[in-house]
Structure 1
Amino acid sequence: MTESTNRVALVTGGSGGIGRAVCEHLTRDRIAIGVHYAGNKAKAEEVVAAITAAGGHAIAVGGDVADEHEMAAAFDAVEQEFGGVDVVVNTAGIMVLSPIATLNLDDLDRMHRTNIRGTFVVSQQAARRLRRGGAIINFSTSLTRLQFPAYGAYAASKAAVEGMTLILARELRGKDITVNAVAPGPTATPLFLEGKDQAAIDNLAHAAPLERLGTPEDIADAVAFLAGPARWINGQVLYANGGLA
């Protein structure tokens, strides 16, 4: 167990591509980590083992991000282990691609539950629990600007995340807690690469002026900035996309 004076983060989706990179980056910044998982405990425990082997402190915590009782229990577990929570990073999300005209509405509901309700539930817990000097970092997407076909429902869910993020920042006036969102562009994660052929991947890689896809570590750099030194950045959406939009 670490001392309660150390900074502590809960990272939802912490066993995923971007989530894991965020956990490992924050560990290098001497932040203890609650590595959240929804269904794959073994994968989260792999991240915990890697962090521990590198000299950091971490535990795995499970739960459905859209279930307020399960997420309250996840926060409880992190607080019990490390003494409090200072940073919450909402990387958990799902993406289903389809033209709006043909989207299965069950898929819309699934994205709504995880991306919108899940972010809302976790942000609500964070607003109630974070210590002074804390940071809430939600995840949007650069697709809210890019307007790529087939991303309509996903972009809509992330536009909702932006809306709640910017309002929560104002609602937490006086608490010394920042609330921002990171909006990645095309990033080489399994979630992004799934279902795309090489030509599509190459086209997206060359669209940005830096002429490559982002990496999970690129996005983790932006998160770590908002989680630590960026105390004067509040109520903003940070576009991490290599200049694509």
Structure 2
Amino acid sequence: MELDRLTDWLWCLRTPIVQCYAISHRAGFVLIDASTEGEENSILTLLGQALAIPGEQVVVHEILLTHGHHDHIGSAAALAARTGGRVVGPALEADVIEGRRAHPQPRRRDWEIPMYEQIIPQVPAAPRVMLDERLAPGDTRDWDNPAVLLAAPGHTPGQLAVWFPTERALIAGDAMASRDGQPMPGVFNVDPAEAATTYATLAALAPDIACFGHGAPLTHQAAKFLQPGTRDRP
């Protein structure tokens, strides 16, 4: 795992499989997603290095899960146990995140099948994690950089995106992705048509910063790269 500082308040924690994000908050952090299972030590060590403190001293106030896929919730339970951070996530996906229901299967388009068969076996199953709070579109987060949660269905039924209106920054979960610096809708969607609509809705926010679960974030004038329909596949 590697850590990239995107702004003075926002970091990207990336592995070859997935990215999660850290937000500065009250001398600690809020995490948006929690990478794959087994990454808790790397996450805390890297965030500790950012603050020049040992990883075991890192304060994680909250872990917000955008949706219930294994590569986004994988280390949430371990991080919560280590730090005492609250775990919050979409109410519509609580049964999946908490282990009572299986993930809905994506409608894989022909060109997605080889990618799916290559990538999914690399993602370890995530331990279930109980939500301390169930979230819905329109809910707000009173962080040092306040945010509002937006409906982002299509990739999964209840996915949420995180919008920072003052900074015009978007953390899109898997509603968006990027490849070779070019954004596109995320892949492996349960409803590809709904995913395309969500992509267009989020692009219409005209963010200056756009962060994705997969692919390099856009950190300056993101809106000009996010026009719907410019790219729909790798």
TM-score class, shorter? 0.3 to 0.5
Indicate the structure with greater strand content.
2
**TM (normalized to structure 1)?**
0.36
Indicate the structure with greater helix content.
1
Identify the structure with bigger relative contact order (alpha carbons < 8 Å, sequence gap 6+).
1
Q: Which has the larger radius of gyration?
A: 1
**TM (normalized to structure 2)?**
0.38
